[in-house]
Structure 1
Amino acid sequence: MKIKNIIAGVYLSLSLVSYAYTPVTVNFSDGNKKYEVTFTESPKRAVTTSHFMTEILLSLGLEDKMAGTCWADNEILSELKEAYNKVPILSERYPSKEVFYSVEPDFVSGWHSSLNPKRLAGVEELMENGVNPYIISSLEKGAKVEDVYEDYITLGKIFDVEDRAEKIVDSLKKTVEKAKQLKGDKKTIRVFAYDSGKEAPFVVAGSGLGNDIITKAGGENIFENIQGNYATVSWESILEKDPNVVIIVDYGNDEAQGKIDFLKENEFTKELEAVKENKFVVVSLAEISPGPRIGKAIEHLAHGFYQEM
């Protein structure tokens, strides 16, 4: 009997060792300062403060590990809608600090701006209250689609779902490679990606994920030489660069058609051949942000650039 108990104990010990959580250390910036955070267990009450992070966690099947979400830029992907409906929506934008802490979070991730004492809380305060913050690398300057793959793998490790993360990355890679073939031997087109702005245009600039998505779709961002994810430029500069296609970034209450109508009336852009010939490709903000949409986004843009125009 004692031998059986000893054997059972050995098996139990081996089982616990084999399923032990491997600590994960991450480095990130809140936009001002760099931090290092170590996860010693998988988060159980995550809060997402951006559309893209919400969809990333949902695509990893983590809705039961999410205590709340906020800041949806577009409609949630249809295949994630059922899972999304299980997650409490804390606020349309950022929740108050009281609402945030009321759901007892142990993890928070989203836009840089959320890690601010004037929004949710600063990094130090969050950690003092048992909340591990994290900003994914694909939000940073110089980010590429490959950084989204790495973010998925890192989050897979943090939430102990590496197998799921690897499957998603494999699927994204296949979609991206297929999309890159749509250009064929056609001449590279020049692209103006318009986010917003009437006094001066706010555009996708040259050192961020949005630019890399345009590049992988076979386009050439007319503002690829400007540093940053986004930048404010002049209307005159757009007229001078004469893009072949205009991307409209769609989100929030400022609908895509309203932006198109504005560009058709603007004294500078109404003279562009791309505008006169209705060479617009509408893409949601969620599609040119990190997340499960990037593969289809590149495919969508490539079709718009080379198959539909």
Structure 2
Amino acid sequence: MRKPVVAAALCLSTLATGCGAQVETSESKPASSAVTLTNCGQKVTYDKVPERVVTNDVGITEIMFALGLEDRMAGFAMPDDKGDLTGVPWKDGYEEVKWLSKQQLTQENVLDARADLVFAGWNYGFREDSGFTPDSLKKLGVPSYILTESCRNGRTESSRGIMPPLDALYADLTNLGKLFGVEKRAATLVADFKKQVAAVQAEAPTGADRPKVFLYDSGQDQPFTSGRYAAPEEIISKAGGVNITHDLNDSWTTVGWESVVERDPDVIVICNYGDVSAEEKRKFLLSYAPLRNVSAVKNKRIFVLDYVDLVESPRNPSAIARLGAYLRTVAETDATS
């Protein structure tokens, strides 16, 4: 996303196609076929089906795994703070595909892997300050696909997000399905994810009963959080809550504690990853004096989701279901108090 997480996710029935079911293979499209996709609002033509894809970060990597494209991958890069990868729906992918680096991707990683496509995103590998960009890779003869959640929107030099977060996930699944000739699998995943989300929405609190939610990623002087274009926006809203930073036209960004206090969230969701544990973040929030009168802190309503749940990934629907169950409990408790 930005700074850089993985939770053990349940292999839900709606994710059955990612758990060993027989599906179409990525060999269904001839390797010589050119494919044109719309990525970040631009038409991009890929002259052939990639055979040695390199990915950056866990959510992006698991999009490839969910589509059954392990055989098209040369490796992935991600920090090793992503939890237990052996219990995830796509654990076979982690066993089959090479872990290239525990840092961000570099041009050296790409060249050493003989990559013919880099799938990354702005602040999910691509950064101007590091010189690792789609343009720099193009000069090396390596095409890129940009994670749609991270697409720059032109509002500021670095602000990101061009569509609702779940639409971004569905767009990437559909695009990659077309590129690799696994359209049926992509369509099945999208349909199953939509069905799972709709089931949560059907039971979610409505109207004034919807709890106000603040997503806390990190930071003590200023909190790093999610605007309207990062995955937490729809994870919160589809689960039955209201993201208090919905008005920020960005994906991941920094705000001031004053605005959090003023908007008085009923629930705080912690993004779990990195060197600072979720429990340490919880202790900070509960002890930070400016937050002492915030409803979520007074009532100790703090819920933890993992990084991969909260960036664009095939874990998003499961995260919606888990947060939805918690928010229903909060709404029911408030209604009877």
| Cα distance in structure 2, aligned partners of 1:272 and 1:45 | 50
SS at match of 1:196: coil
TM-score of the pair, normalised by structure 1: 0.85
SS at match of 2:321: helix
Q: Deviations over 1:5-59 (max 9, x none)?
A: xxxxxxxxxxxxx954653223445xxxx86431122110000012111000011
Matched residue, 1:169: 190
| Cα distance in structure 2, aligned partners of 1:121 and 1:246 | 34
Matched residue, 1:249: 271
**Is 1:124 aligned with 2:135?**
yes
Question: What is the CA-CA distance between 1:92 and the residue it aligns to?
Answer: 0.6
**Is 1:88 aligned with 2:109?**
no
For the structure 1 residues 234 and 122, does the alpha-carbon distance in structure 2 shift closer, same or farther, using more than 3 Å as the test? closer
SS at match of 1:223: coil
Greater alpha carbon shift after TM alignment, 163-172 vs 177-186: 177-186
Q: Deviations over 1:109-131 (max 9, x none)?
A: 12214334764733234224331
For the structure 1 residues 111 and 199, does the alpha-carbon distance in structure 2 shift closer, same or farther, using more than 3 Å as the test? same
Matched residue, 2:174: 153
Matched residue, 1:282: 304
**Is 1:137 aligned with 2:148?**
yes
Matched residue, 2:119: 109
Query: What stretches of structure 1 of length at least 5 have no aligned partner?
Result: 1-17
Q: Deviations over 1:47-104 (max 9, x none)?
A: 0012111000011111121101011452336221122121111111124432321110
| Cα distance in structure 2, aligned partners of 1:234 and 1:118 | 25
Residue correspondences, number = 288
For the structure 1 residues 116 and 275, does the alpha-carbon distance in structure 2 shift closer, same or farther, using more than 3 Å as the test? closer
Matched residue, 2:45: 38
For the structure 1 residues 208 and 143, does the alpha-carbon distance in structure 2 shift closer, same or farther, using more than 3 Å as the test? farther
Which of 57, 60, 69 matches 1:50?
57
- C-alpha contact (below 8 Å) 1:53/1:291 kept by paired residues: yes
Question: What is the CA-CA distance between 1:166 and the residue it aligns to?
Answer: 1.1
Which of 291, 301, 324 matches 1:302?
324
- C-alpha contact (below 8 Å) 1:210/1:289 kept by paired residues: yes
Greater alpha carbon shift after TM alignment, 205-214 vs 173-182: 205-214
| Cα distance in structure 2, aligned partners of 1:110 and 1:177 | 29
1:74 partner letter: K
Identity, in percent, stands at: 31
Matched residue, 2:15: none
2:94 partner letter: Y
SS at match of 2:104: coil
1:62 partner letter: L
- C-alpha contact (below 8 Å) 1:176/1:299 kept by paired residues: yes
| Cα distance in structure 2, aligned partners of 1:223 and 1:185 | 19
SS at match of 1:213: helix
| Cα distance in structure 2, aligned partners of 1:233 and 1:117 | 23
| Cα distance in structure 2, aligned partners of 1:35 and 1:146 | 17
SS at match of 1:295: helix
SS at match of 2:203: coil
Greater alpha carbon shift after TM alignment, 111-120 vs 68-77: 111-120
Matched residue, 1:8: none
Greater alpha carbon shift after TM alignment, 234-243 vs 19-28: 19-28
Q: Based on CA coordinates, which of the two structures has the bigger radius of gyration?
A: 1
Query: What does residue range 70-81 of structure 1 map to in structure 2 within 5 Å?
Result: 70-72=77-79, 74-75=82-83, 76=85, 78-81=88-91
For the structure 1 residues 97 and 185, does the alpha-carbon distance in structure 2 shift closer, same or farther, using more than 3 Å as the test? closer
The two structures, once aligned, show a CA RMSD in angstroms of 2.3
**Is 1:210 aligned with 2:232?**
yes
